[in-house]
Homo-oligomer: A and B are copies of this chain.
Amino acid sequence: MPLDLDSYVSGFVDGEGCFCVSFQPSVRHALGWEVRPSFSVSQNADRAQVLHVLQQRWGCGSIRPDRSDNTLKFEVRNLSELAGAVLPHFEKYPLVSAKQVDFDLFKEICQRMQRGEHRTASGFGKIVEAAMRMNSSGKRKYSSSEILNSLTVR
């Protein structure tokens, strides 16, 4: 069978996937904010086969029902799994659309986090700046200045 499943996954994700970096106020984190990178793909429950292909192929991620509608969501939030499975996939099988720009920023953020840069105010600032350039059509809960002006710098 000539179908290349890795390329297929990239095509599917180009349409349906989301590289997302969100920020949450957090008393558990030194700077007062947590950065949360995640990769997710949602699909109608009655044709969610590809989500299971993703989970099996990458050996990570969860598949859960979305509260809001009749969809299932495959999600990877663990940084080691993002760096170990998700990033290498899209380095080898890149996206054809402009969503590749989001991937490049997502990769930059994950790599900065792997180096621990999110634990310093200046590193966190660079992560916020990169995240704000992602998914330009989406809405953000907190603006760049709301986050950066409220960092707890000790």
- Seen from chain A, the residues whose Cβ lies within 8 Å of a Cβ on chain B are 2-16, 43-44, 46-50, 53, 92-94, 96-99, 137
Known contacts A14-B12, A16-B15, A43-B15, A2 near B93 by CB under 8 Å: yes
B residues in contact with A47, CB < 8 Å:
97-99
This protein's copies in its complex:
2
Q: Given the complex of chains A and B, what is the CA–CA distance between A13 and B96 in angstroms?
A: 13
B residues in contact with A4, CB < 8 Å:
4, 7
Q: Given the complex of chains A and B, what is the CA–CA distance between A109 and B137 in angstroms?
A: 38
B residues in contact with A9, CB < 8 Å:
11
How many whole Å from A153's CB to the nearest CB in chain B?
A: 37
Q: Given the complex of chains A and B, what is the CA–CA distance between A137 and B70 in angstroms?
A: 11
Q: Which of B14, B50, B92, B94 contacts A97 (CB 8 A)?
A: B50
Q: Would you give 27 A-B contacts (Cβ < 8 Å), ordered by A?
A: A2-B6, A2-B7, A2-B93, A3-B92, A4-B4, A4-B7, A5-B7, A5-B96, A6-B7, A7-B11, A8-B10, A8-B14, A8-B93, A9-B11, A10-B11, A11-B12, A11-B50, A12-B12, A14-B50, A15-B50, A16-B16, A44-B137, A46-B98, A47-B97, A48-B97, A49-B96, A53-B96
B residues in contact with A49, CB < 8 Å:
96-98
How many whole Å from A121's CB to the nearest CB in chain B?
A: 33
